[in-house]
Chain A
Amino acid sequence: MILGLHLLALVLYAAAWVLQLRGFRGGREPGLSGVTVVGVGLAVHAAGLLLYALSYRSLPLVGLGPASSSLALFISLFVLAASVRTDLRAAGLFLLPLVLLLVGEAVIVGIEPTGRQIAFRGPWFVLHVSAIFIGYAGLAAASAAAIMYVFQFRALKRKQFGSVFGFFPALESLDRLNKVGLAVGFPALSVGLLAGWSWTLTFGRGLALDNPGTILGIVTWTAYLVAIAARSRPGPRGERAAVISAVAFLVTFVAFLALRITAREAGFFL
């Protein structure tokens, strides 16, 4: 049933993305249908994770499958929240593939508990993982906005009035989404990292710098700092800040992939 709900959510997210792609090809601003499909997909996805929590009496935060699915849920929440504003519905064009990737990964590796006992558990662990997931989702949203900003900026500068011009939101709207993503994600990530760090200090374990989760957290936090610094420079920030945000996300994503491939305990973080 958990897998079935995930598969259904996957289909709905894919359908929403196809609708976005069709809108993009036609150069039309996205309609309400795509948002509705994302909303239904999100509800089904949330039901799948709720069923997981009820079935296994634990939150889906540990293990590659459950954790990927939970992170995907946070990102689709950002998609839906952005879509409430008519002019930001196009954000799904870049965020939905990420959601599809994460839910697809969860479906492939299995959405089941690992069975492995970990020392870090309880409310601090929930705060730690949830806050970090919000941090990752915030950076993803900020980066999607930044990528679209770069495309729209170039279309406007080069006077190309095609699909990008018609489908992508206004520069100011994208800048605002970038700002909101950073404003929500950075404090959340900081809280998540601090919660983890506090736990390790409390139990005298020291900061596990060889832990892939710790490395990814620090890389992401640094990426945030760079993106925020780029925004705070005087003068027209537009494209420069957007490019830096996009590159920061790219670096984080590459770091994640590298850690997933090389780290010994890669299966136990995202």
Chain B
Amino acid sequence: MRDALAADARDGGRADAATIALVGLSHHTAPIELRERVYVDSASVRDTVRGVMESPAIHECVALSTCNRTEFYLHAADAASAESVAIDAVAARAGMGPGEVEAYLYHRHGYEGVLHLFRVAAGLDSLVVGEAEILGQVGDAYELGLSLPDSVGPVLHRLFQSAQAVGGTVRSETSLGRGAASIPSAAVRLAAKVFGSLEGRSAMVLGAGEMGVTTLRCLLSEGISDVLVASRTLDRARETVAQIGGRAISLEDVWEAISDVDILVTSTSAAEPVVTSDKLGPSRGQVGSPLVVLDIALPRDVEPGVGGLPGIFLYNIDDLHKVVGATEEARRAEAAPAETLVTDHAKRFWRWYRSREVGPLIRGLRAHGEAVRLAELERLLAELDGLSESDRERIEAATRRLLNKLLHPSTVAVHQAAADPNAIDFLDKLRDELRLAASSPRSESVTEEDIESSGPANGSADAESEETNEARS
């Protein structure tokens, strides 16, 4: 019986000592060259995650990799093992030694890891605060994890589902995602402030630079229906058209075609202005609808005087940066309510996570108490000769009641600690104590000397308990 109880106590101590751990690097900690090397694309994610999962300490693993961050979310037997495995994985991708790469990494475990993922999903940790793409990328990482055998279990499943829900809630309940936060989205916002809906509008891109094409893609996603691409050579324009659609035209045809265009994006590498009042004025003279000119080239492609022509709205790269700046300012003001939402959700998740280990822990606590009770009872009954059966039963019942009453506040405290992210150390210490007590041969029999010698230890336990309560309050 006592052996079985000791085993229970050991199990209770050991049961689900696992934790959630995160190891990663991002734009906050690592330069772009390193981020590029560590980036895990969808083709290599299977091998990378499989490599991590080979460690027996890792129960579950999801790799989140974007151009700004690569992070390994792990559910593992313990934080130290998880971190060691993940650091090795990152180091292998970076082609560096674990010691070298560690300078660029951050580690979070337990509640801090949960909070980090929720902040990431909400866009609070992004380079452009509030950007929406990260939420989709978190979802993609989770989906990819699901497609790998045994990679996602109940903990990471719930963690990532909650993260996506938090991201959605933050976007719907705060203004964090509003406004234009990148140059292409600022271009769309400016055009939309002139035309309202961009559905069915026409656009022309002059010069097939990367930023011009990205801006055009952004405009296309808003419903632009007619696209013209003009470049220094017709072949170059055709190449761009092959990527994004539309029609390629030569530079000579631009001035004739521009009378039917609503939005002009210029991104050539010309040293002198390509669009001048002399050329544009006659082409747009009697056109009733406005023309938005987005000059995102450096040096500028559009002569500043063009902005003075009737019906023409001219914006250069500095103006677009101003729009982005105004958005960032507004988003910073919205960050506080978003942080509150994220923290609430992280605490809720954490309550669920810790509640999973409360059962085994309380069973372990009770088993330990019961083992001590039985040992003490056996010793007492051996010393008291001549007791009747009913007296023995009464003593046995009294010790059981005593144990129940003594354990009740501890049980309540364990339940409360499980719900409190600040009390994580309390549960870990309790688990360690139980493990130690169950493995110690003296644990089953407590002598008076034990009680006396445990004075300072009890004192420190009290102090810890007080600290925990303080942290909780």
User: Which A residues form the contact surface with B (CB < 8 A)?
Assistant: 26-28, 87, 152, 156-157, 159, 161-162, 165-166, 169-173, 176, 234-238
Are A157 and B313 touching (Cβ within 8 A)?
A: yes
Q: Evaluate contact between B322 and A161: CB separation under 8 angstroms.
A: yes
A186 to chain B, nearest CB (A): 21
Binds A, one of B16-24, B119-127, B154-162, B281-289: B281-289
Q: Which of A28, A236, A238 has the most CB of B within 10 A?
A: A236
Chain B residues whose CB sits within 8 angstroms of the CB of A235 once the complex forms: 285-288, 310-311
Q: Are A234 and B313 in contact (CB under 8 A)?
A: no
* A165 to chain B: closest residue by CB: B193
Give 17 pairs: A residue, B residue, CB < 8 Å, sorted on A: A27-B326, A28-B178, A156-B190, A159-B322, A161-B326, A166-B326, A169-B196, A170-B192, A170-B194, A170-B196, A171-B290, A172-B195, A176-B196, A234-B286, A235-B287, A235-B310, A236-B289
Q: Which residues of B contact A156 (CB under 8 A)?
A: 190, 193-194, 313
Contact string against A for B residues 30-48, beta-carbon threshold 8 Å, 1 for contact and 0 otherwise = 0000000000000000000
Chain A residues, Cβ within 8 Å of B196:
87, 169-173, 176
By the criterion CB–CB under 8 Å, are A237 and B322 in contact?
A: no
> CB-CB < 8 A to B322: which residues of A?
159, 161
Chain B 170-203 per-residue mask, 1 if CB under 8 angstroms from chain A, else 0: 0000010011000000000010111110000000
Residues B195 and A170 in contact, CB atoms below 8 Å apart? yes
Nearest A residue to B309 via CB reads A236
What are the residues of chain A within 8 A of B195 when measuring CB–CB?
Answer: 170-172
8 new A-B contacts at CB < 8 Å, known A162-B326, A236-B311: A161-B326, A165-B193, A166-B179, A170-B194, A172-B194, A172-B195, A235-B310, A238-B311
B residues within 8 A CB of A161? 322-323, 326
CB neighbours of A173 from chain B (8 A): 196
User: Is A171 a contact of B193 with CB atoms below 8 Å?
Assistant: yes
Nearest first, the 5 closest Cβ-Cβ pairs linking A and B are A236-B311, A170-B196, A172-B196, A173-B196, A236-B310
Q: Give Cα distance in the complex from A181 to B428, angstroms.
A: 70
Docked CA distance A171–B178 (Å): 20
A27 and B330 within 8 A (CB): yes
CB distance from A158 to the nearest CB of B (A): 10
B308's nearest neighbour on chain A, judged by CB, is: A157
Q: Which residues of the partner chain A approach B307 to less than 8 Å between Cβ atoms?
A: 157
- Residue B319 at the chain A interface, CB threshold 8 Å: yes
Give Cα A79 to B236, complex, Å: 51
**Residues in B neighbouring A162, C-beta threshold 8 A:** 326
B287 cross-chain contacts in A, Cβ below 8 A: 235-236
Q: Note all chain A residues with C-beta closer than 8 A to B313.
A: 156-157
Question: In the docked arrangement, what's the CA distance between A152 and B195, Å?
Answer: 12
**Quick one: closest A residue to B190, CB to CB?**
A156
Contact with A along B330-349 (1 / 0, CB 8 A): 10000000000000000000
From A159, A166, A234, give the contact of B315 (CB < 8 A).
A159
Task: Give the contacts of B276-305 with A (CB-CB under 8 A).
Answer: 285-290
Return the chain A residue nearest B284 by Cβ. Answer: A236
> Whole-angstrom distance between the alpha carbons of A161 and B325 in the complex?
10
Which among B193, B288, B330 has the highest number of chain A CB atoms within 10 Å?
B193
Residue pair A236, B315 in contact (C-beta under 8 Å): no
Closest to B180 in A: A161
- Give the complex CA separation of A171 and B288 in angstroms: 13
Q: CA separation between A162 and B330, bound complex, in Å?
A: 11
In the complex, the chain A residue whose C-beta lies closest to that of B186 is A161
Which single residue of chain A is at the shortest CB-CB distance from B289? A236
Tell me the complex Cα distance, A42–B192, Å: 31
Cβ A159 vs Cβ B319 within 8 A: yes
Q: Looking across the interface, which residue of chain B has its beta carbon closest to that of A168?
A: B193
C-alpha spacing A66/B342, complex, angstroms: 53
B192 and A28 contacting across the interface, CB-CB below 8 Å: no
Q: Which residues of B contact A171 (CB under 8 A)?
A: 193-196, 290
